[in-house]
Amino acid sequence: MKKTRKAVTGIRPTTLLIPLAVFIVTAAGPTSTALAGRDAEFEEVRRSLVKVYTRSNPPDVRNPWQKLGITSTSGSGVVIEGNRILTNAHVVANQVNVEVKREGTTRRFEAGVEYVGHDCDLAILSVDDKDFFEGAVPVKLGTTSLIRDSVTVYGFPLGGETISVTEGIVSRIEVSRYAHSRRPLLLVQIDAAINPGNSGGPVISGGKMVGIAAQSIRSAENVGFMVPASVIDHFFEDVRDGRFDGFPSLGVTYQAIENPSLRRALGLADGETGVLVTGVNFGSSANGTLRAGDVLLRIDGIPVAEDLSVPWRENNRLHFGYLIQSKQVGDRATLSILRDGRRIEEVISLRDEADLVPRPGFDVPPSYYIFGGLVFQPLSVDYLRLFKHMPPDFSYYVSYRNLKTAERRQVVLLSKVLATPLTRGYQGWQDAIVNTVQGEVPRDLPDLVRIIESSADPWLRIEAESGRVLVLDLQEAASKTTDVLGRYGIPEDRSEDLKQETGDRRRQAE
């Protein structure tokens, strides 16, 4: 049974402005038949190519009750079956208005975001006015390319207003982090130029779409990446039921087992391989099944090698996580496990990944809570982007202990203290990890609200992880919260999602 999750998305163009790739022709030159085929392919793709114009209004993470203001940007897209448009999620992230225009036409049409998958950086747009699609030839989805396959990238990169075409080959195929979501998924590297504005444009091989241009590396030349056909197909299959559920994950931390002594100590037989589980995320697919110290030997009968890889198409190898993320949320997987010298098999139901410090969020305002001038937020990747250098205490949770537990499902921050007479002496506090409130460790932000608003203690006492202590008169802080909000022009003491989860329990002055 799939879990319900609504997702929507906004715009970040690809990162690098680099010269167009050089077209390479054999010394003998192409035959007239080959030229005719290339011309037909170009004409079909040209008629389906779309320029996407987005106005977005991203949230202000430092001041989560407000937004940063309207920005305008553009990307590319392509017409697919069903009178829809496929593009990147980052092209329409945090959008307030989206317009589209077909190649070779002059009129812009208003578009809506029908589905968006931020994890895989894909979005489907719809246009109510059917005149937009007149004469369009929907592209057909092919299969994921192999290394050295030739590809052609179509789109509208910066430097001009008309169609741009670059060519290259597939250089690398691996599970790697997507720049937009920071989620590791299958990603294909190509040497065709991908520049800002190419995002969302089709990558064509053999007359079919084998990928969507997505990102590039700022410091390298002609190193671009596309979302491959298999990930696109996964996205299409996912949203058939009317919602995007995401990509499943085991939800474990792990290490390779390459050292001979470690292998023998764990009880691995000669020639036997696997991956050592070092931690399990609360609420994840593996929660309740895998344990720290287990050796994961096989997934659905496929052995996991000592370098964490599994076989994939024509003697290639990918990270073992690919076997899980290629399935849909709600599917099952069979795990072969070595535990305390015993070999067992377990079948698990697959869920989406949920880290203690969540990956970037889009189209949804950040969570926050304000009490007596104290501003609380959960630690997130979006919050970390405020820093040029990550604070060491944040790094611990992100790099070493990014696992939810039953006792801690968010890292709650006292992100800032608003200046008022009540908070005198604490106004330099910011970015402090909350260790306890009234002696309790808050499980998450809603739990912190519960602790504060149900407390009968005359004092509000907060201890930071650094050891610092903050104490306020609880009733005075409650009675002055409304005044603080008015002074700073803040509309609510908590975000909308927190209202729904905690109820509106704000204390009112009598």
- Cα 334 to Cα 339: distance, rounded to the nearest angstrom: 15
> What is the full DSSP assignment across 118-170?
TTTTEEEEE-S-GGGGTT--PPPB-----TT-EEEEEE--TT-SS-EEEEEEE
Give mean pLDDT, residues 76-100.
97
**What Å distances lie between residue 58 and 7, 10, 116, 207, CA to CA?**
15, 8, 16, 37
Same topology for domains 1-245 and 248-352, yes or no? no
CATH class for domain 369-502?
Answer: alpha beta
Quick one: pLDDT at residue 483?
96
Residue 22 has pLDDT above 60, yes or no: no
CATH of domain 1-245: 2.40.10.120
70-87 burial, b if ≥16 CB within 10 A, otherwise e?
eeebbbbbbbbeeebbbb
Give mean pLDDT, residues 485-502.
93
* Count of Cβ atoms closer than 10 Å to residue 174 Cβ: 16
Quick one: pLDDT at residue 160?
81
Annotated active-site residue in 76, 145, 164, 199: 199
Quick one: pLDDT at residue 39?
78
300 in active site: no
Residue 353 has pLDDT above 90, yes or no: no
Quick one: pLDDT at residue 153?
96
Query: 442-468 pLDDT, tens per residue?
Result: 999 999 999 999 999 999 999 999 999
Confidence band for 20, pLDDT divided at 50, 70 and 90: very low
* Burial status of residue 42 (CB atoms within 10 A of its CB: 0-12, 13-18, 19 or more): middle
Q: How many CA atoms lie within 13 A of 298 on its CB side?
A: 11
- Which range, of 36-40, 327-331, 430-434, 498-502, averages the lowest pLDDT? 36-40
What is the fold, at CATH topology level, of the domain defined by 248-352? Pdz3 Domain (2.30.42)
Q: Which of 180, 204, 205 is nearest to 123 (CA)?
A: 180
Residue with tokens 């225009």: 101
Residues 6+ apart with CB under 8 A from 269: none
Residue scoring higher pLDDT (392 or 275): 275
Confidence band for 503, pLDDT divided at 50, 70 and 90: low
Query: 175-213 pLDDT, tens per residue?
Result: 999 999 999 999 999 999 888 899 999 999 999 999 999
By percentage, how much of the chain surpasses pLDDT 90?
81
- Which range, of 116-120, 268-272, 398-402, averages the lowest pLDDT? 398-402
Quick one: pLDDT at residue 219?
74
User: If residue 381 lies in a helix (H) or strand (E), which one and from where to where?
Assistant: helix 381-384
**Sequence ranges of the domains in the chain:** 1-245, 248-352, 369-502
List the structure tokens of 439.
């002696």
Annotated active-site residue in 48, 118, 121, 180: 121
Give mean pLDDT, residues 1-19.
38
> What is the full DSSP assignment across 214-238?
EEE-TTSSS-EEEEEHHHHHHHHHH
Query: 201-250 pLDDT, tens per residue?
Result: 999 999 999 999 999 887 777 789 999 999 999 999 999 999 999 999 99
Annotated active-site residue in 56, 90, 191, 336: 90
Q: Which of 484, 479, 261, 460 is nearest to 373 (CA)?
A: 484
List the structure tokens of 230.
């298999």
Residue 10 has pLDDT above 80, yes or no: no
Quick one: pLDDT at residue 414?
98
Residue 306 near residue 273, CB atoms below 8 Å: yes
Q: Whole-model pTM?
A: 0.88
Q: What share of the chain is helix, strand, coil (3-state, %, to 5)?
A: 20, 35, 45
Phi, psi at 451, each rounded to 5°: -60, -45
Residue 15 has pLDDT above 70, yes or no: no
* Burial status of residue 507 (CB atoms within 10 A of its CB: 0-12, 13-18, 19 or more): middle
Residue 366 near residue 404, CB atoms below 8 Å: no
90 in active site: yes
User: If residue 486 lies in a helix (H) or strand (E), which one and from where to where?
Assistant: helix 474-488
- Cα 445 to Cα 442: distance, rounded to the nearest angstrom: 7
- Cα 210 to Cα 188: distance, rounded to the nearest angstrom: 10
